[in-house]
Amino acid sequence: MRADSIKIVGTGLIGTSLGLALARQGVTAELADTSKANLRLAIEYGAGRESSEEPQLVIVCVPPDLTAEVVAQELRKHPGAIVSDTASVKSEIYSRVLDLAPEHAGRYVGSHPMAGREKSGPGSARADLFFARPWVITSTTESKSDAIDLLKDVALRIGALPISMSPKQHDEAVALVSHLPQLVASALAARLIDGQASQLDLTGQGLRDTTRIAASDPTLWVQILSQNASEVTPLISALRLELQELEQALAGLDQPGALAKVHSLLERGNTGISRIPGKHGGKFVDYQQLTIVIDDSPGSLASLLAFIGDIGVNIEDLKLEHSPGAPIGLVEIQVDPASVELLAKQLVDNGWRIV
């Protein structure tokens, strides 16, 4: 099943990115937004045109607190259409849609593309935002199978990876992999308010990484968390108890077993992190890394990449590790495992240094 006319309601980061991704597949989305400024910007970016036709599929991309109401409106407005949404919580929205528009609920299927940025608005949109990212489709026994198929097709067309779950399974999963980390990062960053500037001058990459998402929008997150409080609360509780035990162990290091407790937490941290699938969805794509030393001169990176390009190897990911002013840089590239040996040999044979 294919949807040829798709309406996107809400042209923020997600809605506009979705429009751009569809445009690349030759589908011109119909766009709607209560903010005329956002709508105009999204259209200028090429995310679609103003809505006019009767759509087959409506995707609601508005903040979580508004989602159920807008979904219900769209279900009524377009009695022939399938309606979905992209909010990052699912159970509560589903039950509110059931309340607001029970007679239309079969045409509603929730979804959640697992993609986003700290920046928001149409100006931050990217056509490849959903590429190779999971797109959770939360169907229930009420959902029409057409509805699920239509949404799956959209996800696949823009390169996302559709995953089916119930709303409850989804909310449990994001409580663990998204909501808990957000709260922990915020709580950790909040501790910095009391830090002296001379202390913060010693900040390294560890603190930067652990707190990066603490820059997220509080208003959006209050909406998300308040709709998923029942799933998040027990996780916070378990983490808090863990910290409490650690605190006791560190406060009584002379007690038997205290050091072992600290060691156990750190070791379980090792185990926990090893369970995260590799980058880019892990199980789907598995690239191999090569690190090459280059001079810090304009053009040295260019000549390395030109060399790799001449061999015909595509670079899937690249990071330059380089301290300003340092005489060398380290280029970390991710390439197809099938080409990595040949590439490494060619590089070394031609005088490049691999570390």
Q: Are 128 and 160 in contact (CB under 8 A)?
A: no
Is residue 214 a contact residue for its own copies (CB under 8 A)? yes
Smaller CB separation from its own copies, 73 or 287: 287
For the chain, the maximum distance between any two Cα atoms, rounded to a whole number of angstroms, is: 74
Half-sphere exposure of 240 (CA within 13 A, CB side): 8
Among 268, 337, 338, 342, binds its own copies (CB under 8 A): 268
Q: How far is the CB of 182 from its own copies (least distance, A)?
A: 7
Contact segment (CB under 8 A) with its own copies among 50-58, 59-67, 93-101, 304-312 equals 304-312
Smaller CB separation from its own copies, 1 or 293: 293
Q: How far is the CB of 53 from its own copies (least distance, A)?
A: 27
3-state secondary structure of 49: strand
Q: How far is the CB of 51 from its own copies (least distance, A)?
A: 26
Among 79, 257, 269, 337, binds its own copies (CB under 8 A): 269
Is residue 340 a contact residue for its own copies (CB under 8 A)? no
Is residue 316 a contact residue for its own copies (CB under 8 A)? yes
**Single-letter amino acid, residue 271:** T
Among 1, 98, 100, 315, binds its own copies (CB under 8 A): 315
Smaller CB separation from its own copies, 215 or 348: 215
Smaller CB separation from its own copies, 48 or 116: 116
Q: Which residues ranging from 14 to 33 are in contact with its own copies (CB under 8 A)?
A: 24
d(CA 41, CA 103): 36
Q: Which two tokens stand for residue 153?
A: 């097709």
Is residue 126 a contact residue for its own copies (CB under 8 A)? yes
Among 95, 203, 255, 289, binds its own copies (CB under 8 A): 203
Is residue 265 a contact residue for its own copies (CB under 8 A)? yes
d(CA 38, CA 63): 14
Is residue 79 a contact residue for its own copies (CB under 8 A)? no
Alpha-carbon separation of residue 113 from 84, 88, 122, 148, 192 (angstroms): 12, 8, 17, 14, 32
Contact segment (CB under 8 A) with its own copies among 26-34, 74-82, 148-156, 321-329 equals 321-329
Alpha-carbon separation of residue 236 from 132, 184, 346 (angstroms): 30, 8, 51
Is residue 156 a contact residue for its own copies (CB under 8 A)? no
Instruction: Give the residue from 271, 21, 274, 263 showing the smallest Cα distance to 129.
Output: 21
What are the helix (H) ranges across 78-121? 91-100
Smaller CB separation from its own copies, 58 or 175: 175
**Single-letter amino acid, residue 317:** D
Backbone angles phi, psi at 59, to 5 degrees: -115, 115
Q: How far is the CB of 199 from its own copies (least distance, A)?
A: 4
Q: Are 158 and 130 in contact (CB under 8 A)?
A: yes
Is residue 271 a contact residue for its own copies (CB under 8 A)? yes
